[in-house]
Structure formats: structure tokens, C-alpha cells
């Protein structure tokens, strides 16, 4: 009999387990966020490496990014419903196409929540489809259960508005490409709050990909800075004050200057990292590997301009 009860307890615990133990922080009266690990997806962090927020719009709630798995989104849904039991979650806005941001949309879509993304996001999802197996390969099957890639219901352009009874969120596309072509910012003027996804990294190095644009990224941050938002909330890290974008902007400006100088001086590809001094950013996590990638990717782009 004791063995049977023990088995039932294990099954019950597994069925109703909270894998992520989410602890939202209060940014404003109406905006709360959960902070992801300052690392790539691992078995330990269960893919939860990016920041996710939710906004009380008055009669409804809007979620900013969906997180890495169905179960993550399910837990976040429970957190939101506990705080706002009578409010409907009406929209999820995806700040780009990355797996750690979009895969949780599979849960929200199953609840009838409308998913919004930038107009190029489906194209990116198709182009980089293999990247959506990353988290699945790393984390336990029971945590990943029911997770799948779903398409947004609404494809938005710059200036698209999501209206609530007491505030409006505006989707901003400050440049054609920053880290990705599907990167967007979400702005609440009433809260003086900007959610900018992978346009801003704190506590760790940014990821400058072959598809990124140093000029577009710099342009985007300078344009968003002119809004003078009190809260500048990036996709990674726990720094979110009005100048939280500066580390990313300073790195990109130094990267561009260093790469352009190396091109002008005909520095050999194998000597780039040695000749482009970025040591003032070496305190950031994963600096060595990601700085190496950034220099070489940026060099490959700018030398042909």
C-alpha cells in the first residue's frame, strides 16, 4: 500500500511540476518580467536564457516573447493568471524568430492567444528551420513535451499598435537589420518602457551573426535612444535602466571602427583579433568566443562594401 501511494505521489509531482520556478520582477506598476540565465541554452537552465515580460493593458494582458518551451509558457501563464485572474491574455508579441523566444508560443496559441511577429519572421523561421532543434536536443523530454514551432497569426510592420483599455503598445522597426531582420522593439509610451529583444545584451556578450548588420544595429539603438525611455529592457541580462543599451552600442561602435581600420591597413584575416583591441569588453560572459566571431563576421561584411 505504501509503495502504491509513493508511486502516485511521484506521478502527481511530475504531472504538476514547475520546471522553471519563474520569479517575475516588477518593472512598473503594470509591467513584470522574468530574467533568463546569462548563458546559452543548457540542460541546467532548460533553455530559459532570454527575458520575457507581460504588460497589464487594462482589461487584458500582452506577453512580450514566449520563452523556450510549451511548459515554460504554461508556467508563465499560471503566474500571470495568479496575479490577474480575471484578465484575458490576448496577444504575444515576438521580438524575433529565435528558438528561446518563440517556441513557447505553441502553448499560448493552444489557448487561443493571438501571436504577433514582424512581417519577415516566417521567412526567417523557414530559412533557419534547423536551429529549432537546438533546445530539444539539450533538455529532458518531459520538459520539452508539446513544444513545437508555430507561425504568428499577425505579421506586423513598423508602427503597428496593440491597444488596451488604458494603454497602447507600438511595434517599432528602427532599422532593416540589427542582429536579425525580424528584430523589433515594443514601446509603451505611458510606461516609458522599451522591450528591445536581441538588440540589447547585458551581462554577456552580444551574438553578432553573419546575418547581422553593424550599421543597422547602431542605427537602431541610436534611434530608440531618442525616445528617452526610462526603462530600456534588452533580451538578455538584468540591467534595464535608461542607459542599458550603452554597452551594446559602445561595443558595436568599437567593432565597426576597429574592423574598418583593419580593412584600411590590409590586416590579414588571421591577425584580426590581435589587432582589434576590444579588451574593455572582456568582463562580459563568453567574450572570447563571441568577440572572435563578431570581428570575423563584421570584417567579412565590411570588406565588400
d(CA 20, CA 200): 24
* First vs last C-alpha separation in the chain: 75
Q: All 3 cell numbers of residue 40?
A: 546559452
Write down the pLDDT at residue 133.
95
Q: All 3 cell numbers of residue 205?
A: 556578450
Residue 274 CB contacts under 8 Å (≥ 6 apart), including other chains: none
* Cα–Cα distances in angstroms (integers) from residue 264 to residues 5, 255, 304, in the given order: 74, 14, 12
Range 19-242 classified under CATH 3.60.15.10: yes
Contact 206, 178 (CB under 8 A): no
pTM for the full predicted model: 0.93
Write down the pLDDT at residue 17.
67
Write down the pLDDT at residue 157.
98
Write down the pLDDT at residue 13.
35
Write down the pLDDT at residue 23.
97
Write down the pLDDT at residue 305.
76
Give the β-pairing of 31-34 and 25-26.
antiparallel
The parts of the chain modelled with pLDDT lower than 50 are 1-16
d(CA 91, CA 108): 9
Amino acid at each position: 500500500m505504501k509503495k502504491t501511494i509513493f508511486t502516485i505521489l511521484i506521478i502527481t509531482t511530475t504531472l504538476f511540476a514547475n520546471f522553471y520556478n519563474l520569479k517575475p520582477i516588477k518593472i512598473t506598476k503594470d509591467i513584470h518580467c522574468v530574467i533568463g540565465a546569462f548563458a546559452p541554452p543548457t540542460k541546467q537552465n532548460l533553455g530559459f536564457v532570454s527575458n520575457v515580460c507581460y504588460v497589464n493593458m487594462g482589461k487584458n494582458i500582452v506577453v512580450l516573447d514566449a520563452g523556450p518551451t510549451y511548459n515554460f509558457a504554461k508556467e508563465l501563464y499560471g503566474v500571470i493568471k495568479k496575479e490577474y485572474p480575471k484578465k484575458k491574455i490576448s496577444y504575444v508579441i515576438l521580438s524575433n524568430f529565435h528558438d528561446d523566444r518563440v517556441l513557447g508560443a505553441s502553448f499560448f496559441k493552444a489557448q487561443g492567444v493571438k501571436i504577433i511577429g514582424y512581417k519577415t519572421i516566417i521567412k526567417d523561421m523557414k530559412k533557419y528551420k534547423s536551429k529549432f532543434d537546438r533546445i530539444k536536443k539539450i533538455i529532458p523530454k518531459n520538459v520539452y513535451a508539446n513544444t513545437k514551432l508555430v507561425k504568428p497569426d499577425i505579421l506586423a510592420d513598423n508602427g503597428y499598435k496593440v491597444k488596451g483599455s488604458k494603454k497602447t503598445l507600438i511595434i517599432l522597426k528602427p532599422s532593416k537589420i540589427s542582429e536579425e531582420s525580424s528584430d523589433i522593439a515594443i514601446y509603451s509610451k505611458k510606461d516609458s518602457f522599451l522591450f528591445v529583444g536581441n538588440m540589447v545584451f547585458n551581462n554577456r556578450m552580444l551574438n553578432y551573426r553573419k546575418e547581422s548588420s553593424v550599421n543597422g544595429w547602431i542605427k537602431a539603438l541610436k534611434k530608440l535612444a531618442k525616445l528617452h525611455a526610462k526603462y530600456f529592457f534588452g533580451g538578455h541580462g538584468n540591467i534595464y535602466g535608461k542607459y542599458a543599451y550603452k554597452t551594446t552600442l559602445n561595443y558595436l561602435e568599437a567593432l565597426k571602427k576597429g574592423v574598418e581600420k583593419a580593412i584600411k591597413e590590409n590586416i590579414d584575416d588571421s591577425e584580426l583579433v590581435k589587432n582589434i583591441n576590444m579588451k574593455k569588453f572582456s568582463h562580459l560572459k563568453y567574450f572570447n568566443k563571441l568577440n572572435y566571431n563578431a570581428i570575423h563576421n563584421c570584417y567579412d561584411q565590411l570588406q565588400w562594401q
